[in-house]
Amino acid sequence: MSVPASGPLQGQRILLCVGGGIAAYKALELVRRLRDAGAAVQVAMTAGAQRFVTPLSFQALSGHPARTTLWDEGAEQAMGHLELARWAERIVVAPATADLLARLAHGQADDLVTTLCLASTAPLAVVPAMNHRMWQHPATVANVALLRSRGVQVIGPDDGPLAEGESGPGRLREPDAIVVELAAFAVPATATAPPGLLQGLKVVVSAGPTYEDLDPVRYLGNRSSGKMGFAVAASAARQGAQVVLVAGPVHLATPPGVRRVDVRSAAQMRDAVAAALPADIYIGAAAVADYTPRAYSPNKIKKTAGGQTLAVDLVRTPDILSEIADRHDAGLKLVVGFAAETDNIADYARSKLVAKRLDLIVANRVGVPGAGFESDDNAMTAYWPGGERDFPPAPKLRLADDLVHLVAERLRGDTR
């Protein structure tokens, strides 16, 4: 899948910072893909990166000399490093090695790349690539968490064969997929861009799982990663909507231009969604727990002597989607639900459409590889009274755009 030159990266000024790992050669392809998507690209390299790929190769592909050091008088005269930091509307670090992630997390400025990142206010995306043990080391895990908490977009890494003949999480994501993820988190349209499909509308999106606490140690949860709902929120923001994203416990960066409210339980999600109203559109992509423990135990539940079973008394959670669909005071124009099913998808989805009084329901199969929970990809069918549309397998980021287009069509009432 590729991002068209007329897409969200068109005209964006991207500074690509290349780190010193074997995957640096893939950054060459990334420059091409970014330019194909309409972006203007300049490249800065760490000293390590220059041991793997030459600056000349990046110059040939980007159309600009690659910057290699803070101490280059000629380059500084042409465009000082602070000017380059200001020029960038987006900074992408690929490959981001463990060392580079650590230096970025701790605000160091001990070479050109880290100085540029620290001197810029542009949104930062990092694309990690390293040995799987380095990626899983607690130090790297903590550095990545710190970067995420500052709103840094973390793309990948993928799981698979690594350079040293080992296998595991640590592969640089493929350049096409990196560009798709950058496009999904593209900075919302500028004042000069044409108005988006949802311009002037307020959209509330729920995403991710809910956790229902049993005691201070345990909870009931589910496999939702939030990827689908976050992609929908990002897409709606790119189409000009004012977006509130009510997120269950997930590890995803907040899309640009989106107001995020973090919650844990179904009850908290209900309150946060209600507080975000009035709105024009509600899209319920969250996998809300249907049941919660009747009573929370403030002390850890102990094994009883000889007890082989434990019965937990559960009660229904509020059905947020139905409650929202029933509200007539909130100015809602469209209520959209999701249906996660393992079988009889069309029948179950259509009956939820009617039972929950929805305007649109999006059904997807769960429990199969390459779709549903956790996966980057999905396949869906949307149903509305009197119509349906298939969305064949594709990245969630792409499907979210297609769904937002359908939402805009349904609002205009021109889909039958």
Tokens standing for 392? 């064949």
How far apart are CB 136 and ligand PMT at their closest, in Å?
Answer: 21
DSSP states along 278-331: S-SEEEE-SB--SEEESS--SSPPPPPTT-------EEEPP-HHHHHHH-SSS-
Rounded distance between C-alpha atoms, residue 104 and residue 95, angstroms: 13
Judged by CB under 6 A, the chain residues 350 through 409 that form the site for ligand PMT are 352, 364, 366, 372-374, 378
Scan for tokens 């039958």, then name that residue. Answer: 416
Query: Is 222 designated active site?
Result: yes
Q: Is the peptide bond before 8 cis (omega within 30 degrees of 0)?
A: no
Which of 180, 60, 48, 83 shows the shortest CA–CA distance to 127? 180
Q: For every residue of 170-214, which 3-state class applies, written as one string? A: EECCCHHHHHHHHHHCCCCCCCCCCCCCCCCCEEEEEECECCEEC
> 143, 222, 364, 378: which one is catalytic?
222
User: Distances from the Cα of 264 to the Cαs of 123, 188, 269, 288, in angstroms?
Assistant: 27, 28, 7, 10
Residue with smaller CB distance to ligand PMT, 25 or 348: 348
Kind and range of the H or E element at 338?
Answer: strand 334-341
Among 17, 243, 287, 353, binds ligand PMT (CB under 6 A): 287
* Segment near ligand PMT (CB under 6 A); pick from 130-138, 211-219, 317-325, 406-414: 317-325
User: Distances from the Cα of 381 to the Cαs of 231, 345, 388, in angstroms?
Assistant: 17, 9, 7
Among 233, 243, 252, 286, binds ligand PMT (CB under 6 A): 286
Compute how many residues bind ligand PMT; rule: CB under 6 A: 30
Among 215, 271, 290, 402, binds ligand PMT (CB under 6 A): 290
User: Distances from the Cα of 171 to the Cαs of 33, 131, 136, in angstroms?
Assistant: 18, 8, 13
Rounded distance between C-alpha atoms, residue 152 and residue 131, angstroms: 21
Kind and range of the H or E element at 244?
Answer: strand 242-247
Residue with smaller CB distance to ligand PMT, 135 or 282: 282
Residue with smaller CB distance to ligand PMT, 127 or 287: 287
How far apart are CB 409 and ligand PMT at their closest, in Å?
Answer: 19
Judged by CB under 6 A, the chain residues 1 through 60 that form the site for ligand PMT are none
Among 21, 48, 123, 284, binds ligand PMT (CB under 6 A): 284
- Residue pair 45/68 in contact by the 8 Å Cβ criterion: yes
How far apart are CB 370 and ligand PMT at their closest, in Å?
Answer: 12
Residue with smaller CB distance to ligand PMT, 16 or 363: 363
Residue with smaller CB distance to ligand PMT, 152 or 363: 363
* Segment near ligand PMT (CB under 6 A); pick from 6-14, 150-158, 218-226, 307-315: 218-226
| CA 373 remoteness from chain centre | 14
Q: What string marks each residue from 319 to 358 as x (binds ligand PMT by CB under 6 A) or -?
A: xxx---------------xxxx-----------x------
* Segment near ligand PMT (CB under 6 A); pick from 29-37, 104-112, 161-169, 280-288: 280-288
Residue with smaller CB distance to ligand PMT, 62 or 364: 364
How far apart are CB 64 and ligand PMT at their closest, in Å?
Answer: 38
Scan for tokens 């727990």, then name that residue. Answer: 289
Judged by CB under 6 A, the chain residues 219 through 238 that form the site for ligand PMT are 224-229
Tokens standing for 414? 């021109």
Is residue 266 part of the contact set for ligand PMT (CB under 6 A)?
Answer: yes
What residues are annotated to the active site? Answer: 222
Interface residues toward ligand PMT, by CB under 6 A: 206, 208, 224-229, 266, 284-288, 290, 317, 319-321, 337-340, 352, 364, 366, 372-374, 378
